[in-house]
């Protein structure tokens, strides 16, 4: 089966780029399942139910998240019903929602897991302990196709997860930094990239208008982050093939504004 994984979708420009490019990519690359990180999909902070439904109409099947998932207070009220919207599995069990979603594709079960790192992040349970427990559950259900969105700041943490899980899961894709990295590889049949990179404005700072980040860096004072609607936009995602739980091929696609797809970093094993 062929899956597309989109990194952090930031604000209205991010949703617009999903609208412009996801359905087209599904058709052009013959994709069976789409996954995207939506923690910044509504104004850069969290996700509203309205925007979640909007992204579904653009053919986004499964939505992962991260530290910004609780930014919109309404999320607490609907996340339990919308099981395709994940929150990191290692967030407190006192919070609503689930960190794993199981979907059937072509008669095979696929588990999508959302996991969060510890460095420079809110307090979460140890990700390695949490993932071990979840993989044990999936083993009992005989689910081999396992995709992890590892939402973390530090590349070393992401790389450590790869070394811990290589050969045990189908794919580990990093999110959160919003900066796409060029280290896409398949190691022991596990696809990996440190960060997929954002979908949204490409001419600011991690999808945000540059005024507030410059002010903060220059003077050490915080002002409100906002998203420039008239920006240069990017869509970026990883497309990969799984057979019997093993990644066999992976590549990256990028599109700028209304342009064509650029394919790069192709790798197989
Ligand atoms: Fe993000
Ligand atoms: Fe994040």
Cα–Cα distance for residue pair 223/249, rounded to 1 Å: 43
- From ligand 1's centre to the CA of 139, what distance in Å? 30
- Tally of structural domains, the chain: 1
pLDDT at 115: 98
Domain of residue 107, CATH code: 3.60.21.10
Helix (H) or strand (E) holding 217: helix 211-219
Q: Residue ranges of the alpha helices (H) in 59-154? A: 75-78, 127-140
- From ligand 1's centre to the CA of 191, what distance in Å? 21
User: Minimum-distance ligand to the CA of 196?
Assistant: 1
CA distances in angstroms from 150 to 68, 140, 162, 165, 228, listed in the order given: 14, 23, 10, 12, 27
- From ligand 2's centre to the CA of 45, what distance in Å? 9
* Radius of gyration of the CA atoms of the chain, in A: 17
Q: Per-residue confidence at 223, pLDDT binned at 50, 70, 90?
A: confident
Q: What value does the mean pLDDT take over residues 29-40?
A: 98
Among 38, 30, 34, 36, smallest CA distance to 3 is for 34
Q: Per-residue confidence at 252, pLDDT binned at 50, 70, 90?
A: very high
- From ligand 1's centre to the CA of 8, what distance in Å? 5
Q: What 3-state DSSP class applies to 22?
A: helix
- From ligand 1's centre to the CA of 35, what distance in Å? 15
68: annotated active-site residue: yes
Of 19, 21, 68, 84, the active-site residue reads 68
pLDDT at 160: 98
- Asked whether residue 269 carries a pLDDT value surpassing 90, the answer given is no
Contact 86, 98 (CB under 8 A): yes
- β-strand pairing of 33-37 with 2-8: parallel
Question: Can you name the residues that pair with 62 across neighbouring β-strands?
Answer: 35
Q: Which two tokens stand for residue 132?
A: 């071990």
Contact 187, 268 (CB under 8 A): no
Cα–Cα distance for residue pair 221/204, rounded to 1 Å: 19
Q: Which two tokens stand for residue 187?
A: 């190691």
Place of tokens 């973390």: 152
- Asked whether residue 208 carries a pLDDT value surpassing 80, the answer given is yes
Q: What value does the mean pLDDT take over residues 170-185?
A: 98
Q: By mean pLDDT, which of 9-23, 135-149, 153-167, 223-237 is the weakest?
A: 223-237
- Asked whether residue 249 carries a pLDDT value surpassing 90, the answer given is yes
Q: What value does the mean pLDDT take over residues 36-56?
A: 98
User: Minimum-distance ligand to the CA of 116?
Assistant: 2
Q: Per-residue confidence at 118, pLDDT binned at 50, 70, 90?
A: very high
pLDDT at 222: 82
Q: Per-residue confidence at 229, pLDDT binned at 50, 70, 90?
A: confident
pLDDT, one tens digit per residue, over 153-173 is 999 999 999 999 999 999 999
Cα–Cα distance for residue pair 105/114, rounded to 1 Å: 19
- For the chain, what is the mean pLDDT? 97
Cα–Cα distance for residue pair 105/49, rounded to 1 Å: 25
- By CB atoms closer than 10 A (0-12, 13-18, 19+), residue 83 is middle
User: Minimum-distance ligand to the CA of 36?
Assistant: 1
- β-strand pairing of 108-116 with 62-64: unpaired
Helices (H) and strands (E) in the chain, counts: 6, 13
Q: For ligand 1, an ion, list residues with CB under 5 A.
A: 8, 39-40
Expressed as residue numbers, the domain containing 138 is 2-268
Ramachandran area for residue 208 (φ above 0: left; ψ -120 to 50: alpha; else beta):
beta
- From ligand 1's centre to the CA of 244, what distance in Å? 31
Q: By mean pLDDT, which of 24-38, 82-96, 162-176, 215-229 is the weakest?
A: 215-229
How many Cα neighbours within 13 Å face the side chain of 27?
Answer: 6
């Amino acid at each position: 089966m062929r899956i597309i994984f989109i990194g952090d979708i930031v604000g209205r420009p991010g949703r617009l780029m999903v609208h412009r490019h996801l359905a087209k990519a599904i058709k052009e690359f013959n994709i069976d399942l789409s996954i995207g990180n939506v923690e910044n999909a509504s104004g850069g902070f969290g996700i509203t139910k309205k925007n979640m439904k909007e992204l579904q109409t653009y053919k986004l099947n499964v939505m992962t998240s991260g530290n910004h998932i609780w930014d919109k207070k309404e999320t607490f009220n609907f996340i339990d019903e919308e099981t395709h919207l994940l929150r990191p599995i290692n967030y407190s069990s006192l919070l609503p929602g689930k960190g794993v979603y199981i979907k059937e594709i072509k008669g095979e079960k696929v588990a999508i897991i959302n996991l969060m790192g510890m460095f420079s992040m809110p307090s979460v349970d140890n990700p390695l302990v949490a993932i071990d427990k979840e993989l044990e559950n999936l083993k009992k259900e005989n689910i081999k196709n396992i995709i992890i969105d590892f939402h973390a700041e530090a590349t070393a943490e992401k790389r450590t997860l790869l070394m811990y899980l290589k050969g045990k899961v189908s794919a580990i894709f990093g999110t959160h930094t919003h900066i796409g990295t060029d280290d896409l590889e398949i190691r022991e049949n596990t696809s990996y990239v440190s960060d997929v990179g954002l979908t949204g404005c490409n001419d600011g700072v991690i999808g945000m208008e540059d005024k507030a980040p410059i002010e903060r860096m220059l003077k050490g004072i915080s002002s409100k982050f906002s998203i420039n609607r008239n920006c240069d936009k990017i869509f970026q995602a990883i497309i990969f093939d799984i057979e019997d739980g093993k990644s066999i091929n992976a590549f990256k696609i990028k599109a700028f504004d209304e342009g064509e797809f650029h394919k790069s970093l192709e790798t197989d094993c």
